[in-house]
Amino acid sequence: MNLSNLKPAAGSTKSDKRIGRGQGSGRGGTSTRGHKGAQSRSGYSSKLGFEGGQMPLQRRLPKFGFTNLKRVEYKGINLLVLEELAQKSSLKSISVDTLIEAGLVNKNARVKILGNGTLSVALKVTAHAFSKSAAAAIEAQGGKVTKL
């Protein structure tokens, strides 16, 4: 057996329908396009969402909601994560740069420390925002909270 002997399995390939090759082919005349209308013409391509002239769905439905352009997105980091990071790397202070190096946040992200979990060590934590419970938990352990 070699490459010149290889063939597809019998019946697995078919030749394409050849359209517009005269009346004797059975697909001449209008060439399966029907009579008149945009789709019978050459060069036709429909617009996305076009419904034959009927008002398209995206224009029939009402607009709703509100997008606040000044919204600030934060990446939430729980106390549980800070505890694990501090124990693993034996850290006394955690900043946004520390979280970026650990791969927990993107370098462009704003960080908010959230209060899920507990701390067993005093940490100096620097971030963009803190929840009340997180700030209270850090300070209860003798740590320090610094907002950027």
**pLDDT tens sequence across 24-81:** 999 999 999 999 988 999 999 989 999 989 999 999 999 999 999 999 999 999 999 9
- The Cα 46–Cα 70 span in angstroms is 38
User: Can you give the pLDDT at residue 12?
Assistant: 94
Query: Does position 89 have pLDDT exceeding 90, yes or no?
Result: no
Count CA within 13 A, CB hemisphere, residue 2: 1
Neighbours of 82 (CB within 10 A): 27
